[in-house]
Amino acid sequence: MHPIDRAAAVMVRRGPRRLRIFPGGWGETRYVGMLGDVAALAADPPQLTISWSPTKHLADRTVRDGHFTAPTDLPPPARTAAIRLVEPHGDTARLCLLMAAWNDHGYDTRQQLADELVHRGIGSLILEIPYYGHRRVVPADDQPIQTVADFARMGLGAATEGRALLEHFRHQYQMGVSGYSMGGNIGAMVGATAANPVAVAPLAASHSPGPVFLEGVISNGIQWQALGGEDQADQLRDALGAASVLRLPTPDWTRAAVMVAARADGFVPSSAVEALHRHWPGSELRWRPGGHATLLWRQRRVLADAICESFDRLASDRNA
C-alpha cells in the first residue's frame, strides 16, 4: 500500500464525520435491494429533457451547464440533476461522460480531467450524481450517504442517468464513459449496459463496491454498530457485491476498453480490477506505479490518454 493511502486509512478510522461509512445503518430494505437490480439496467434508457444555461465561450473551449429531472425514485432534493458540457472549439466528434468518485461533489475534480481531454479534441459531460453537491438530501450534512439504502439509490440513480445521457447525446457524438474509483465502477456498469457502442475507460475501478468497502482503506470507516455489529460483514459484502459488472453481459465494445490501475492502491484491491479486466476479453489493463491518491493527482495525463485510446480502439474495431 502506498504511504499516502496508508495515512488515509488512519484518517478514515479517526478523522471527521464526513469520512464515516453508513452511520445511519441499513436504511429502508426496499431500497437496499436496488443494489442488485440488474433488470433496471437492462431496460431501455429513459428519455431526458435538458434545460441549458447560456453558453460560455472561453479561450480554448465552450462550457454549458444544464439540468434535468431525474428518472429514478429519489428524495425530492436529489431529483434535479445537474450536468456540465465542456467542448473544445471547433467540431468535436467525441464526448466522454465523466462519473463521480466517492465524496466527489461538484465539477472541480473532474474538470481537471476534462481540461486534459479538451487538449485532445474530446468533449466532456460531467454529471453531478444523486446525493452529491447541489443534490444533497440534507445540505448541511458532511456525509450525504447515511445508509446502505442511500448508497443503493445513489448508485442506481447515477447509472440510470448515465445511460440516459449516453442515449441523449449519441446522435451528435461518438460517446464514451469514464470515471475514477467509484466513478469508474459506475462508468463500467453504464458502458456495459449502454444501448449502443461506447468507449469505456474505467480508472482505478473495481468490478463492484464490495471489495472496496470490505477490503480497502474505506473499510476503516464502516460504522458496524449502526449496521448491527461486525457479524453483519457477510451480509454487507453480499449486498454491495450484488452491484457487480460481473453480473452483466459483455457487449462487443468492451473489448476496446482501456483500464488504468495503481500497483500500490490501498483503496481498490488489485484482484477486483483484474476481475473486471478478465470479464471483458480483449480489454487493456495498464498498471501504473503509485497509490490511489497519487494516480489521480500526479498522472492525470495518463488517465486522459486511456480515455482517448479507448475511443481510438473502438473506432478501429468498428472500421475493421
Q: Are 101 and 186 in contact (CB under 8 A)?
A: no
How many H-runs (helices) and E-runs (strands) does the chain carry? Answer: 12, 10
Say if CB 166 and CB 174 are below 8 A apart: no
Collect contacts of 185-188 with beta carbons under 8 A, ≥24 apart: 185/209, 185/212, 185/245, 186/99, 186/100, 186/129, 186/155, 186/158, 186/159, 186/162, 187/97, 187/98, 187/99, 187/162, 188/245, 188/257, 188/276
Q: Which pLDDT score is estimated for 320?
A: 66
Residue 40 neighbours by CB under 8 Å, 6+ apart: 34, 156, 160
Q: What pTM was estimated for this model as a whole?
A: 0.95
Torsion of CA 284, 290, 294, 295, to 10 degrees: 0
Nearest to 158 by CA among 90, 216, 83, 214: 83
Q: What is the H or E stretch that residue 71 is in? A: none
Task: Give me the pLDDT at residue 317, please.
Answer: 85
Question: Which residue is listed with cell 459488472?
Answer: 245
| CB count in 10 Å sphere of residue 273 | 24
Give pLDDT tens digits along the chain (320 positions).
788 877 877 777 776 777 789 999 999 999 998 988 888 898 899 999 999 999 999 999 999 999 999 999 999 999 999 999 999 998 789 999 999 999 899 999 999 999 999 999 999 999 999 999 999 998 767 789 999 999 999 999 999 999 999 999 999 999 999 999 999 999 999 999 999 999 999 999 999 999 999 999 999 999 999 999 999 999 999 999 999 999 999 999 999 999 999 999 999 999 999 999 999 999 999 999 999 999 999 999 999 999 999 999 999 988 76
Task: Report the C-alpha gap between 119 and 138 in whole angstroms.
Answer: 37
Domains annotated for the chain, with CATH where assigned, are 3-319 (3.40.50.1820)
Per-residue confidence (pLDDT) for residue 199, from 0 to 100: 98
Which residue's entry shows cell 462550457?
Answer: 63
